[in-house]
Chain A
Amino acid sequence: MAQITTPTTADVTAPRRMGAGAVLLALLPLLLLGGLLALLVVTGAGIGARTAPPIEELTIDRISLPANDALVVEVTNGGPDAVTVAQVLVDDNYWDFTISPGPEIPRLGRATIAIPYPWVQDEPHTVVLISSNGVTFEGDVAVVTRSPQSDAATFWRYALLGIYVGFIPVGLGLLWYPFLRRLGRSGMQAVLSLTVGLLIFLLFDTLAEALEIIGTTPGVFGGAPLIFLVALLAFGALIAIGSLGKGRESSKLGIAYRIALGIGLHNLGEGLAIGAAFALGEAALGTFLVIGFTLHNITEGIGIAAPIARERPIWWHFVLLAALAGLPAVLGVWIGGFVYNALLAAIFLALGVGAIAQVVYEVGRLIVRQSQEEGAPLFSPATFGGLAAGIAIMYATALLVAA
């Protein structure tokens, strides 16, 4: 390298130094962009000023009934302009209301509207917001019953709910561990395949729920593509984290933890759904919903225990695994019950999709490797049977939840 001294050769072969000139070159397009934007804003740049009335887009995020004569409406402005809520109608009656922080909701801003309306138990109500331009936005109260109060008792009740649907069933499922240890090689393959089956079901289930929830949010936040992209990034990030071990076999315990994480995010989503249902007075579904989720989630424990059936982890790993997979449900119920935000919920679920996809990938590789070691076909009765059984079990127990 030392022989190459002529400046001309160096110019051609070596990258130029990052001096002030280079920085300027990097900034040049941005400066031009700024100029163009300024031109557009100031002169309209030949496109012409907008004369049409502003397009107003308010999304009613949620309507709750905190007292016998109170309706509380939470709204988000997903449109391109600020929207001023001028009046409020309940069931085609103009009604007194207060709005905070104020009637003008900026772009992407949120507001809470309190209406002292004497709602009627079990009879549906419709809330309509009228903007200063006379545009109307409608929201329905489908289940009309008083929403739970935000107090310590409710907080604890929500926590219990999360423990019932998350921590306990996952913990119970992990108790299959001693049984799993007694399985032969093909039995193990079947159980791992069962795990993949469970996870594939959860993957689609979580994805569907994420897409459903994102559908209720203002389109400006990205809609369905946001879900796929967040899931993809979560998947990629977890793969990248898994490969930090520099080509070493990822440890089976590590896989178990990642499964627990994926399931945890899924359970967070379930918690959100349960919490929101309770907060919006859909608690009538309550007990049966909890039984359904408990049965549904017990199989998740098997999924976590399967990869470590041949290891001998210390006992507290099991507690941690159960906590990682189950306790997010508690967090979910709290969030869903107290500060439900559809966008946040959808993003959590999308993260869950990515995390589950990543563990499907890892457990799948484990099965492939073990099949190769034994010279057995990948799709044997044991593996395919396990996969199908996993999906079938989840489907059957999901029926309980849907009821």
Chain B
Amino acid sequence: MAGQTPLSRRHLLGGLGGLGLLGLAGCAAVATPPASVPAPTLPDMTAMDHGTSMAHTMGNILVGDVDPAINGFDPMTMLTDFDYGKVSTLPSGQTLREYKIFAADKLIQVAPGISFPAWTYNGRVPGPTIRCTEGDRVRITFTNGSAHPHSIHFHGFHAAEMDGVTPVAPGAQTIYEFDAAPFGLHVYHCHVPPFMRHIHKGLYGTFIIDPKTPRPPAHELMMVMNAFDTNFDGANEIYAVNTVGFHFTKHPIPLKVGELVRIYLSNFTEFDPINSFHLHANLFNVYRTGTRMEPSEFTDVITMGQAERHILEFTYDRPGQFMFHAHQSEFNGLGWMGIFEVTADGAASAPFEVAGRLGICQLV
């Protein structure tokens, strides 16, 4: 920054002071719905004309931060929170994995200060990431604790009775049981009409069937691209990965230089026909639906309809901050934006620090 252009004293002071304070003085200062915020400082904004400010910053952000304690789930821990079930062996020698899933109505925050009356599996959106190996017996006990009938419809092979299209009444329980196949990245969701409402209110999740010969070791991350229509007008107000808009902009995902990263990416955006994933300064291998061991594509943008899902693999060979986001700019502005922070040791910066450094947060 210094040295390229002649600096005025104000410039220098601002630049030096700003670099250290950027993250904290920026968006973090107004973290979590501000009880009282300073009055508009118009003279300051006037002074921030181009050229005199230390760096040109964009303020495209959701002000504040969602405390994971409010929702009872954290978009960050969801990335690596794989549910392998209660494991036992059947007399036949087949592995049995038992899972318990309940539906519940829950008010969640999809953005700082914005509540959304969600329908959830196990109190979270997306629901638990069900993970097993091809050929395992999967037994899911589903209890409907919601005020509305719901079900779980799994993608993959199973008997017609296990298809999850029959509504389960409030208070009732049912068991879905099948042998996991084929290997790949699948999804599950409620299949009770009206589908649009049941999906967009949050009844969906990721279902991973690992191949019998495991994929190479990698840093694995589960991401669901989703969106929320907070005013129920048939269009989304918030876009995100794992529910909370801009969460990974404020809390970058730490990665290590040189490690293989594998993303289990699915799309559960309602109302918009497609969503997409773009990676900065890198390209990824695409394993469509995860049903093959060979990649079908090497690219940096993948566009998906609802319930489409792909495994993406990539490695960063250098440290730095790299964005990932939808390549529909509209969705970026509405919350679907995140950052990978690549370091030698995979250490994470303080919340907001990277966003401030990149000029995403406004300087106050």
Contact = CB atoms under 8 A, between A and B. Distances in A.
A135 interface: yes
B45 A114 contact: yes
A313 interface: no
A116 B42 contact: no
Nearest to A85: B113
B111 A86 contact: yes
Secondary structure class of chain A's binding surface, majority of residues? strand
Contact of A92 (B63, B114, B228, B330): B330
B362 interface: yes
Contact of A70 (B42, B50, B113, B361): B42
Nearest to A112: B40
Contacts of A66: 42, 45-46
A384 interface: no
A71 to B, nearest CB: 10
Contacts of A117: 59
B33 A84 contact: yes
B59 A115 contact: yes
B92 to A, nearest CB: 50
A87 interface: yes
Contacts of B46: 66-68, 70
Nearest to B37: A98
Contacts of B34: 99, 102-103
Contacts of A130: 111, 114, 230-231, 237
Contacts of B60: 93-95
Interface string B26-41: 0100100111111111
Given A92-B333, A94-B334, A134 B59 contact: no
Contacts of A100: 37-40
A97 interface: yes
B332 to A, nearest CB: 8
Given A92-B333, A92-B334, A130-B230, A72 B42 contact: yes
A93 B233 CA distance: 18
Given A66-B46, A100-B39, A102-B36, A116 B230 contact: no
Contact of B48 (A91, A96, A116, A133): A116
Interface in B1-56: 27, 30, 33-42, 45-46, 48-50
Nearest to A86: B113
B152 interface: no
A132 interface: yes
B290 interface: no
B330 A114 contact: no
Interface in B59-82: 59-63
B50 A68 contact: yes
A113 B330 CA distance: 23
Contacts of A69: 45, 48
A370 interface: no
A24 B330 CA distance: 67
A134 B115 contact: yes
Given A94-B334, A135-B231, A102 B50 contact: no
Given A103-B33, A135-B231, A97 B48 contact: no
Q: How large is the interface on B (under 10, 10 to 19, 20 to 34, 35 or more residues)?
A: 35 or more
A59 interface: no
A136 interface: yes
A311 B114 CA distance: 70
Contacts of B61: 94-96
Nearest to B56: A118
Most chain-A Cβ atoms within 10 A of its Cβ — which of B115, B116, B228, B233? B115
B335 interface: yes
A101 interface: yes
B246 interface: yes
A103 B111 contact: no
Interface in A47-101: 66-70, 72, 84, 86-89, 91-101
Contacts of B111: 86-87, 94, 130
Contact of A96 (B59, B110, B330): B59
Interface in A112-132: 112-118, 130-132
A135 B116 CA distance: 10
B115 A94 contact: no
B27 A114 contact: no
A132 B330 CA distance: 22
B245 interface: yes
A281 B97 CA distance: 67
Given A72-B40, A96-B59, A103-B33, A134 B362 contact: no
Contacts of A135: 230-231
Given A98-B39, A99-B37, A114-B42, A133 B334 contact: no
B45 A94 contact: no
Contacts of A115: 59
Nearest to A97: B63
A91 to B, nearest CB: 8
Contacts of A97: 59, 63
Contacts of B27: 96
Contacts of A98: 30, 37-41
B145 interface: no
B112 interface: yes
Nearest to B113: A86
Contacts of B40: 70, 72, 98, 100, 112-114
A92 B330 CA distance: 7
Contacts of B38: 98, 100
A306 B330 CA distance: 64
B59 A95 contact: yes
Contact of A116 (B114, B335, B362): B362
Contacts of A102: 34-37
Given A70-B45, A87-B114, A134 B237 contact: yes
Contact of A136 (B50, B113, B231, B361): B231
B42 A132 contact: no
Contact of B114 (A96, A114, A132): A132
Given A68-B50, A70-B45, A134-B228, 10 more contacts: A84-B33, A87-B63, A88-B63, A96-B61, A96-B63, A103-B35, A112-B39, A112-B40, A130-B231, A134-B114
Interface of A: 66-70, 72, 84, 86-89, 91-103, 112-118, 130-136
Interface of B: 27, 30, 33-42, 45-46, 48-50, 58-63, 110-116, 228, 230-231, 233, 237, 245-246, 330, 333-335, 361-362
8 contacts: A86-B111, A95-B61, A96-B27, A102-B36, A103-B113, A133-B114, A133-B230, A134-B231
